[in-house]
Structure 1
Amino acid sequence: MDHRTPARRRAPRAARATLPLLALALLAPACTGGVEGKPGAAGVRDPYFPKLGNGGYDVTHYALTLDVDPDEQTLRGTAEITARATQDLSSFNLDLAGLTVDSATVEGRPAAVNRAGDELTLRTDAKVEDRLRKGETFRTVVHYSGSPKTITDPDESEEGWLPTDDGALALGEPTGSMAWYPGNNHPSDKAAYDLTVTVPKGLTAVSNGVMAGPPVTEKGRTTFRWHTAEPMASYLATLAIGEFETKTSTTAGGITVFTAVDPEVAEASARTIARIPEVVAWESEHFGPYPFSATGAIVEREDDAGYALETQNRPVFPGPPDLGTLVHEMAHQWFGDSVTPKSWRDMWLNEGLATYAGWLWGEEKEDTPADESFDNAYEDEDNWAFPPADPPSAAEISDEPVYGRGAMVIHKIREAVDDDEEFFALLRGWTKKYRHRNASTADFTAYVEEETGQDLSDLWKAWLYGRSRPAADG
């Protein structure tokens, strides 16, 4: 994510009528034997967003089918969610904001649904033999509809469903994906995705992954299908609907490059967007093989979002991106998208490493030594508001220390290693070890010490967790 793009506030939209939730009574769980199970947790106790995500299961695949009316800003959706139970379950939760549940089934059986805010609780038949057993793979189908909502984060940025002049844009970091589909909305649960979207003829629907066949137009509406094979965190899922100029090509390494650019900004974006293969190749040399089968970009108009975001495979940019922002968001394909944080406290691993990628690009391509970038960051008072690994609240998880001071931590590791060949091997080893997995700050510090054979306790204490500014050469 690039929070440096100035946020642009929308005028308040007229209040929309809330559609009624389908009334489904909870069934009593009285049982006397067999697998009784217990409810899955409503939330995974994330330190900043404790109600996000859900316990008791692990999603392996989402199949989302959406029919969108951009003029009315409404949708009808079906979510088929394949998951594995991690405990015996009597009920479990999904995250969904605002939209109305019309019906739901679990393993083909009607499910009772209860709603409390953004939490859906689903319960199947109360009979013991129908309970979900630990290790069992099960399929949940949720039919839903309504007007997706724009979500305002604690830092006042907007995400979720963002209406645009020619369609809509769905962004998810950190909470917004639940505005347009139900799921286990936390980065610790990654899954494959298939998305089928139907929109009015003349519009294009762009998402993650690769296009699964050509668009099909019938009765004035066009259906687009997208397939994301590699695991993806919910906050990285995106959907852009609008009038786009699209282009498909292939890198020398066989990676599909798909770009979708709003015609109003196409000319101004062309030069930077054309450098995507170059940037991906350069970052692959430094950070290891590109972790996905597709890359590219979605470029919207400047007022369509307040920030750039590293949506998996093809980042979203609000207006023509500069080269530095492109390098940053593409670096996130390794740091954040493939190696994904276990909790939002670990976000500095995303942003510090992506920021340092920009310093490396400047060093090798623009004659700006990383030492100079470090010095500039060190002198920036904003970087010392709090330790990068311990933001004071959810409102600060995208603030300057997570980026600038996070990058300083990486530079200090490079100094401690004191050998660039070993340092870059360290970065490549990190992305290899945790490829398509989740990792925490503790995982990272342990990995660095193990690989370097050094006790870096003083480095972590001063630069990662310290609340005062250490000496620059400390």
Structure 2
Amino acid sequence: MTRTVRAAIATAAAAATLALAAPAQAHPFDPKPGADGVGDPLFPTLGNGGYDVRHYDLSFDFTPVTYDFTGTMKISAKATQDLSSFNLDIDSLAIDAVKVDGKDAAFAVSLGKSGQELTVTPAGGLHDNRPFEVAVTYHGNGKTKPIGVPGWRYMSDGGFASAAQSSRADTFAPVNDTTMDKASWTFHLTAPDGWTPGANGTKTGTRPAGEGKTTSDFRLDVPMASELLGISVEKQTLLTGHGPHGVKLRHYVPDDQVATYRPIVEQTGGQIAWLEKTLGVRFPFDTYGMQIVRDGYSDALENQTLSLFGPGWFKNACTSTTYTNVMVHEMTHQWFGDSVTPTTWQSAWLNEGPAVYYAALWADQQGTASMEDKMRTAYGKLDAVRKTDGPPGLPTELGGFNIYDGAAVVLYALNQQVGQDDYDAIMKSWLTKHRHANADSQDFIDNAIRVTHDPSLRPFLEDWLLSKDNPPMPGHPDWS
């Protein structure tokens, strides 16, 4: 090696060392507003971009009968871009003040397509990847007509229960109202003495709030989408118990109807055990219960860890056990929809299909209804519904037959195609792989192929989920 070559190598090595030692050039701060919607196929303006919520802390002081309330929502979040401003979803809330990291922030309220947009402008903006804290104080009245559909359900005793799905959590508090932004929660619900608050998660205690009021505290450590918010203040009694392997059971029933509902809610432990055995997966939360209201609500809803039921489901409880089907339906949602949450509402069949399917299986095993008969009837109806309301995997809106019974038919077809053992393995893997996370239809298809090693399931499931016509039902060539 010549002296000239050695010198050139030494010079190059020194330059390389200096380059490694020099700090990387910082990314220039370029703040822009966060998006005022996340582009959900069915609800494009729901949710907001530019940040990820890690925790919600809601303080809510409710006055029964008048329905006046005050609230403070504290949000722990992390920026996912350089932010000059960001939005929260609200509807009919009067905003009093907003602070970001303890400092006053400018804010404005504007009309949105499904509610209102609260735009927050922190002084100096927020850097990408930076954690930040937001505190919004507000007030309102639960009977104020919202811009969108109300999330409040009014009880004749002057209390309320929340039914927030799919976009009504923002009538109670400022939130990032998208299924994609799940977070842990704490609740501090204040009500006059003699009134009992209920909320998602585990009750951690009560404390005096002055002027004849008491605050009840709750916490939910596992992530929850805002649409599964379940809060209430009523004249109600808390009933407690224990489910399989230590699952804490707690139920809220009207004060004057405890004797009626106690034997009903006490069945939940056995239903959890049945679903755990059927699914091969333990209950995904450490607590569960039923909220049975006295009136003012006629449906059933899978609020996370605290399903909401109208009284109409139990009118014939003395003569029939069919009410247990809806109990199993909402309980199944704790796995499908609450623990594993669809990325967008376009994949809502992943919530409702399993709930209908396993409730039908429960009824079949209880000897009250035939699973096969139900699936054959639903299959016959689904073909026309595909053309009017969209196929199960591409619904034009929520709440239709296509994403309920029609989606259960898709799962039944999958079972017929792969056999019971592989079907059970697919569902168990789905719940395990995506526990407390988000996933969509393509994730489900990918999981089915991964479990069975059968790539033909991709066109099979895509046909069942997306086609405008019913595919032939495996094992049932006579079905039409």
TM-score with structure 1 setting the length: 0.86
Q: What is the rounded CA distance, in whole Å, between the counterparts of 1:34 and 1:111 in structure 2? A: 23
1:383-404 per-position Cα deviation (integer Å, ceiling 9, x unaligned): 5443011112xxx311111111
Secondary structure at the aligned position of 1:202 is classed as: coil
Secondary structure at the aligned position of 1:304 is classed as: coil
Contact preservation (8 Å) 2:184, 2:223: yes
> Which of 35, 40, 43 is residue 46 of structure 1 equivalent to?
40
Which residue number corresponds to residue 232 of structure 1?
224
Which residue number corresponds to residue 403 of structure 1?
404
Letter in 1 for 2:109: R
- Aligned positions of 1:75-114 closer than 5 A: 75-114=69-108
Q: What is the rounded CA distance, in whole Å, between the counterparts of 2:379 and 2:244 in structure 1? A: 39
1:184 deviates by 0.3
Please say if 1:186 is aligned against 2:186: no
Letter in 2 for 1:226: F
Which residue number corresponds to residue 469 of structure 2?
468
Which residue number corresponds to residue 432 of structure 1?
432
Q: What is the rounded CA distance, in whole Å, between the counterparts of 1:151 and 1:274 in structure 2? A: 37
Letter in 2 for 1:389: G
Secondary structure at the aligned position of 1:79 is classed as: strand
Which residue number corresponds to residue 156 of structure 2?
165
Contact preservation (8 Å) 1:196, 1:225: yes
Which residue number corresponds to residue 212 of structure 1?
204
Please say if 1:37 is aligned against 2:31: yes
Q: What is the rounded CA distance, in whole Å, between the counterparts of 1:268 and 1:372 in structure 2? A: 33
Contact preservation (8 Å) 1:105, 1:141: yes
Gaps of 5+ in 1: 1-32
Secondary structure at the aligned position of 2:336 is classed as: coil
1:459 deviates by 2.4
- Aligned positions of 1:251-330 closer than 5 A: 251-287=243-279, 288-301=281-294, 303-319=295-311, 320-321=313-314, 322-330=323-331
Q: 1:152 to 1:458 in 2, by over 3 A?
A: farther
1:136 deviates by 1.1
Letter in 2 for 1:230: V
Contact preservation (8 Å) 1:104, 1:111: yes
Secondary structure at the aligned position of 1:467 is classed as: coil
Contact preservation (8 Å) 1:299, 1:317: yes
1:265 deviates by 4.6
Point out which structure has higher relative CO (alpha carbons under 8 A, 6+ apart).
Answer: 1
Contact preservation (8 Å) 2:325, 2:360: no
Q: 1:199 to 1:146 in 2, by over 3 A?
A: same
Contact preservation (8 Å) 2:92, 2:147: no
Secondary structure at the aligned position of 1:75 is classed as: strand
Contact preservation (8 Å) 1:159, 1:170: no
Q: 1:463 to 1:34 in 2, by over 3 A?
A: closer
Q: What is the rounded CA distance, in whole Å, between the counterparts of 2:434 and 2:402 in structure 1? A: 24
Which residue number corresponds to residue 318 of structure 2?
none
Contact preservation (8 Å) 1:97, 1:178: yes
Gaps of 5+ in 2: 1-26, 315-322
Contact preservation (8 Å) 1:204, 1:241: yes
Contact preservation (8 Å) 2:243, 2:272: no
1:441 deviates by 0.8
Secondary structure at the aligned position of 2:425 is classed as: helix
1:395-454 per-position Cα deviation (integer Å, ceiling 9, x unaligned): x31111111110011111111211x23321221111000000001111111111221122
Q: What is the rounded CA distance, in whole Å, between the counterparts of 1:106 and 1:214 in structure 2? A: 29
Contact preservation (8 Å) 1:383, 1:404: no
Letter in 2 for 1:50: P
1:272 deviates by 2.6
Q: What is the rounded CA distance, in whole Å, between the counterparts of 1:333 and 1:457 in structure 2? A: 27
Which residue number corresponds to residue 413 of structure 1?
414
| Structure with the largest fraction of helix | 2
Structure number with larger C-alpha Rg: 2
1:163 deviates by 2.4
Q: What is the rounded CA distance, in whole Å, between the counterparts of 1:271 and 1:238 in structure 2? A: 23
1:208-257 per-position Cα deviation (integer Å, ceiling 9, x unaligned): 00001245464311211111111000000111111112111222410110
Which residue number corresponds to residue 448 of structure 1?
448
> Which sits farther off after the overlay, 163-172 or 216-225?
216-225
Which residue number corresponds to residue 123 of structure 1?
121
TM-score with structure 2 setting the length: 0.85
Q: What is the rounded CA distance, in whole Å, between the counterparts of 1:261 and 1:190 in structure 2? A: 28
Contact preservation (8 Å) 2:92, 2:146: no
Q: What is the rounded CA distance, in whole Å, between the counterparts of 2:127 and 2:459 in structure 1? A: 47
1:87 deviates by 0.9
Q: 1:99 to 1:424 in 2, by over 3 A?
A: same
1:151 deviates by 5.1
> Which of 236, 241, 248 is residue 240 of structure 2 equivalent to?
248
Secondary structure at the aligned position of 1:373 is classed as: helix
> Which of 389, 393, 403 is residue 389 of structure 1 equivalent to?
393
1:305 deviates by 1.7
